[in-house]
Structure 1
């Protein structure tokens, strides 16, 4: 019986105009987004390689100039672009991708890529296509699953055969999920083809597990909207009214809540303006003469600024992720190592690299018996001025990605939220349909 009902539901969906239009739009958006990402990724990889070469030159030049220079140099560390950005960009183009450091301090984060400010908007990635069009298509496919059949009289005929109601609802859910998986699967395949054939980069290595993770979390998000549509459709006898209610809910969850993060973050966790931070730095330069105290004060100001910035983003995410679309987006960012989690990882590794440089300076200084061994950053003559003998001993910065297990731990709360949405809406759908008047 399940197979017969499922086949009927699938055939109706395949013959509908809304499925055809949704299929074309989703596949087109997948392809267009991957094409745009391809161009930007190639540019960012080239700039990253140039930055790595420049860093190598800076380290060698500093080594030839003298050990003390490592406490005063400006070495720029670059964050490599994420190879999974076509699936989940995570607003990476709006976050710093470079930082200036020396052995004394992490100086400042900045954008090294010459990016157009007009591009500071949502990426056309997989999460955008699924979160916007995928969820909308889920409602359009399912809104009349119960109320529409009642209006046509087919639901009364079906239930006259003593078919279990739970079986009918499961068949409608499975049919909707199968039919919605078709454009998502096709879009994913087209996206991978565009990435692999659209330039010299090809499909990045190690993309398999993140791809599966994003696809699974996307289906969880779509599933919650299918259950929502079944629940609303089982609560009304008019399919048009059901569609109106669903579109209002979709607008709140997908458009309003998901895009209110910036406003919420500014209200609940305001961040000082960069100009205010610069004034604090200038005040420290004027009033503090002791080198160690000055460096400590500068480091504290910069650290506090970036701590508040990260806190603002985290507060916004904590609130907006109660939308299933936002939960899906943040989970995808964690899986793909993009967004704020990637920036936080970069900042931590940059600070560890600063510590490695400091320890390297101490080791090299200890080799010089003529040095006073008093490391006061920015003051000549306090430590050895000798050159570095072996350039390969100078620490090099290498950004290391988190393991997938660690990334999933970051997305645990989002997974729980998506599962809860599915559970609540599914429970409501079954409870309502069991009491639904099919006449």
Structure 2
């Protein structure tokens, strides 16, 4: 009872609540300072590929063709390829390289921007003018903040307020989530962070309560995850392995599934219906149920880049996001605080790391740290909190100094990444050390 009350009353007069407010303030300041919309720099790269479904369906009406949309892109950013993200098929039809899940996430903010732009005398209602470029990143930043707020509520079920607050601070400001909630908010990772927090919460709630509403929420969220990024299928390990700590738990789980078989069938059907929207789009627009939408790009599981992916200065996850190394160590103490989380942690973390760095382009193009692994952060936050719960009471001061330094380092390097001081693709040790203390480009005349 005490734990449940504590979880409900965390906001706002707690350490966790005030840390969340601090994170929100810094997010808003960072995204405002960057203000990529001032340079028409929002709807580019992967974002314009995710987004293409919305203007194509509701403004340019050129799904399957793309001609009008290419012209509008060229108007705003003539320096970029106007057909980026478009796959031109042999049957003269055009589909999009990127799945449509992020278009679903963008839809509320697109609708608001379009309503504003459609007012007589307003900016062009063409899908690329200022209202669209402003509201999309702000909306995705709100997804990240909502994810952190819900994560705080979830962590409070298992840990004291000060441990939860510390963990939230580390995840929000001490990892590359900060970059993908602010400077790169329209990428998929802030949205996937929220969806994975919901996956964690709904998994726990469904096994505790068995409600239909929770079952359908769990399925709907996971279906949208697959629609955003098909490789999120690996995250099915969370609901499948949650709480399977011994043989008796496995037998009990099978009995629960048998007793709830109508819910299970409905959940599978809902996941398939939502994820299947991609196949339906390909069939209606491209003429085929399955398309090779990443031609020439593949996984090479025989030659994974594990050491580079984890430790290299070029894009190593633990090099650029060292606080998550403490989360990995914290897995050893998770059984004490959150035993139900240990099986998915032990299985999912190594599998996802291996698969992530088996991709042919293991750095995943331009980006900061290993962005695909942000999907693991909600689950790993339980391990990080377990680490703090074990070691903070005896080593508070040295650990506080370490957290402060790593958070400041992450914020500074996130800003360097935005400015281009940190190379988004081919960072070298020489570049890293030479520009380490620079928070603006050096004046060549000095």
Q: How would you bin the TM-score normalised by the shorter chain? A: under 0.3
TM norm structure 1: 0.24
